[in-house]
Amino acid sequence: MGAQWKAKHREAAANAKGRIFGKLSKEISIAARAGTDPDTNARLRLVIEQAKKASMTRETLERAIKKGAGIGGEAVNYTLVKYEGFAPHQVPVIVECLTDNVNRTVSQIRVLFRKGTLGAEGSVSWDFNHVGMIEATPANGDADPEMAAIEAGAQDFEAGEEEGSTLFVTDITDLDAVCKALPEQHFTVVAAKIGYMPKNPVSGLSDEQMAEVEAFLEAIDENDDVQNVYVGLAG
């Protein structure tokens, strides 16, 4: 029984890693449209750092860059599409997809939203702030999140997803500058992106209701075309 559980666990871990690499490859290809030199392409530089931290191979990384830049006949054209709506119990959700087939994606998203409500553009995004988000970890004991946020030019900060990490919130146009400034404040940047943060997250759901919301979100996140999922949920 234990061996079987471990096998399932390894398969789940491999699948999760495969999805992460798939998402990062798309991000790299999109960023590479603006140039293949990370020194002059801030967006590409940031996503390459994420890919390296995720242990993406150099071959996979370079292939994604070539696809985005159209080098060597490997061009691929991804379209960014955004869907808005509600998970069960009126929890607002924004779903960003990168796809090479918009018709396929919208069909799949409609199916995934059957247990929620798929809304029109703007139906929930008004209740989110469009911001830069930087997850960083302290490089040493001198790292002070509040002082780092002030000195680096971040708008705000809060506890990050990983234990011990901090999420620095920035204006969209300041994302790259804050990323460059944080190491001087004894923080190591783990990931950075432009995304959405809820203004009025839903709270007070029961354990059963929360389980329904989480099952809904997991099903969406597992879709190959889904790149990011932003949720107006407290806690």
Class of domain 78-235: alpha beta
Q: What is the pLDDT of residue 6?
A: 36
Q: What is the pLDDT of residue 10?
A: 44
Q: What is the pLDDT of residue 5?
A: 32
The Cα 88–Cα 211 span in angstroms is 10
Q: List, for residues 181-225, the tens digit of each pLDDT value.
A: 999 999 998 888 889 999 999 999 999 999 999 999 999 998 989
Residue with tokens 């329904």: 212
Q: What is the pLDDT of residue 67?
A: 85
Please measure the distance between the N-terminal and C-terminal CA atoms of the chain and give it in whole angstroms: 34
Q: What is the pLDDT of residue 16?
A: 64
Q: List, for residues 39-61, the tens digit of each pLDDT value.
A: 888 788 888 888 888 888 889 88
Please, where are the H alpha helices in 70-206? 102-112, 145-152, 175-181
Q: What is the pLDDT of residue 14?
A: 52
- For domain 2-73, give the CATH number: 1.10.10.200
Q: Where are the domains of the chain?
A: 2-73, 78-235
Q: What is the pLDDT of residue 11?
A: 47
Residue with tokens 């691929």: 76
The Cα 17–Cα 224 span in angstroms is 13
Q: Which residues of the chain have pLDDT under 50?
A: 1-11
The Cα 123–Cα 118 span in angstroms is 9
Angle between helices 42-53 and 2-32 (to 10 degrees): 170
Q: What is the pLDDT of residue 4?
A: 32
pTM for the structure as a whole: 0.80
The Cα 45–Cα 82 span in angstroms is 24
